[in-house]
Amino acid sequence: MRTVAEHLEAVLALVEPLPPVGTELEDALGAVLAQDVRADDALPHWDCSAMDGYAVRAGDLLGAGPSSPVRLRVVADLPAGSGAEPVLALGSAARIMTGAPIPAGADAVVPVEQSDGGVEHVVLTQAPALGAHIRRAGEDVRPGDLVLAAGTWLGPAQLAAAASVGAGRLQVHRRPRVAVLSTGAELVPPGRSLTYGQIHDSNSYLLAAAVREAGCDAVRVGAVPDDPAALAEALDAAEQQADLVVTSGGVSMGAYDVVKQLLAGRTGIDFVRVAMQPGKPQGLGRLRSGTPLLALPGNPVSAFVSFHMFVRPALRRLAGHRDAAPAVREALVEDAWRTPESRAQVMPVVLVDTAAGDGALRVRRAVEGGSGSHLVASLARAHGLAVVPAAVQDVRPGDRVEVLITAPELVPSSAGSPR
Ligand SMILES: Nc1nc2c(c(=O)[nH]1)N[C@H]1C(S)=C(S)[C@@H](COP(=O)(O)OP(=O)(O)OC[C@H]3O[C@@H](n4cnc5c(N)ncnc54)[C@H](O)[C@@H]3O)O[C@H]1N2
Ligand code: MOO
């Protein structure tokens, strides 16, 4: 048996970041940058006002106050976007709006609230400090600064940073495309009725959705029967249209384990046992045209766990993330359970509110008494997966575990921030 870390390394060796493509900023959400973004210009571009008010020479207002107002001539009106370049002589002011460039000669801004709001002349009742309410050029970014480094994930704030330095198009790693298929003679699509012995295919929905949630495109091929010829045909089609093929089922010891039957003899494909519960049997390798394949076990919880432990990191690497490991959070365990000997255990858990007030995340098993890899409907309750190392045999209340949050939207706000 190989360790989780060894298997993850073997999985990651199958994939590389996808090549860069040019994209409009608008379409780049969730992609990973394949270029550095630098600023040509300073940001702010020039000294500008942080308030709606009057640009002044502070020296004109020494001693100004509510009982000693000072009257200045207003020589310009400067809305944001104004290209005017007035010069303030002694005894003058410019009406200025937030974001407009500070005129030459001005060295402070007095907010409109400290004035009579005059248009030709203004009466000011405040002596501003030198530089008051002026945003300085280059405070945010200096010319030539690195704004976003290659490898950065692009969320809303990152797109705004790119936009602010004028980058309208970006080079990003192409979004991974993943073909998902499940295997099993017993599988029937949801929406159709079952005969005795049949079940509904949930894994192809589970895995396609997990792929999409990870920011990738999924082609859900659906269920393929336990027939090697049919599977060969489906895999040939899948590998032509995908950067990665993910299957579920048919990798264990059964007489009809079709994935293993078809692929076990092929060079470049291995079927291995990973010291992990659930998710012990795993297949991996390259299909005929070199497309990587990850063959996950068919039990739904095993497939879900395998996705988060192995497929998700592979997707992150394909997508261009420098760090393949998704973020984990440390949590305190509330209940107790035994774990299998010498195997890491990945337990579906919920985050709970204990009103302890110490800010720590606390978890309990999502299913009382069980880590059964067939408990697919119960899996829907879980907020995350606690990863218990192989060396641990007993998990006790108060123990610390690492938790991969898988459903942040389900976590009640009283349980603390899941992210
Ligand atoms: N003799 C042994 N039997 C089994 C072993 C073993 O070591 N020796 N390992 C067990 C473990 S652990 C797992 S995990 C499973 C993995 O089996 P397969 O990957 O071959 O999966 P299947 O046999 O095809 O299915 C297992 C289980 O999951 C259900 N299933 C399959 N696909 C779907 C789907 N798309 N949607 C919903 N449910 C699905 C299937 O009906 C089975 O109940 O092997 C153990 N056996
Ligand atoms: O390893 Mo299996 O994945 O326990 O159910």
Whether 193 and 290 share a structural domain:
yes
113-146: pLDDT as tens digits: 999 999 999 999 999 999 999 999 999 999 999 9
Residue 195: count of CB within 10 angstroms of its CB: 7
Rg of the chain (C-alpha set):
30
Q: Is 198 in the same domain as 308?
A: yes
Q: What is the dihedral of CA 396, 400, 405, 411, to 10 degrees?
A: 70
Structure tokens at 26: 């608008």
pLDDT value, residue 195: 98
Residue type, 271: F
Of 242, 309, 233, nearest in space to 277 by CA: 309
Instruction: Inform me whether the pLDDT recorded for 371 exceeds 80.
Output: no
Number of domains into which the chain is organized: 4
Domain of 276: which CATH number? 3.40.980.10
Please state, in angstroms and rounded to a whole number, the distance separating the CA atoms of residues 202 and 189: 8
Ligand 1 midpoint to CA 128 (Å): 75
> Could you tell me if residue 352 is inside a domain?
yes
Q: How far is the CA of 206 from the centre of ligand 2 (A)?
A: 17
The better pLDDT of the pair 416, 236 is held by 236
Q: How far does the centroid of ligand 2 lie from the alpha carbon of residue 302, in Å?
A: 5
The residues that bridge with 146 in the sheet, in sequence order, are 38
Each residue of 159-199: pLDDT tens digit? 999 999 999 999 999 999 999 999 999 999 999 999 999 99
Cα 290 to ligand 1 centroid, rounded to whole Å: 27
Over the stretch 296-332, which tens digit does the pLDDT of each residue have? 999 999 999 999 999 999 999 999 999 999 899 999 9
Nearest residue (CA) to ligand 1, atom 17? 252
Is the distance from CB of 383 to CB of 407 less than 8 angstroms?
yes
Which ligand has the nearest atom to the CA of 275? 2
Q: What is the CATH number of the domain that holds 124?
A: 2.170.190.11
C-beta of residue 88 within 8 angstroms of C-beta of residue 60? no
Q: Which of 198, 252, 273, 302 to mutate to test the pocket of ligand 1 (most atoms within 8 A of CB)?
A: 252
Supply the ipTM of this predicted assembly.
0.98
| Residue 150 pLDDT | 98
Q: Are 262 and 231 in a shared domain? A: yes
Query: Which helix (H) or strand (E) element contains residue 157?
Result: helix 156-164
CB of 299 closer than 6 A to ligand 1?
A: yes
CB atoms within 10 A of CB 272: 15
Q: What residue's CA is closest to ligand 1, atom 2?
A: 253
Range of the domain at 108: 48-135
Same domain assignment for residues 14 and 26: no
CA–CA dist 254, 196 (Å, integer): 20
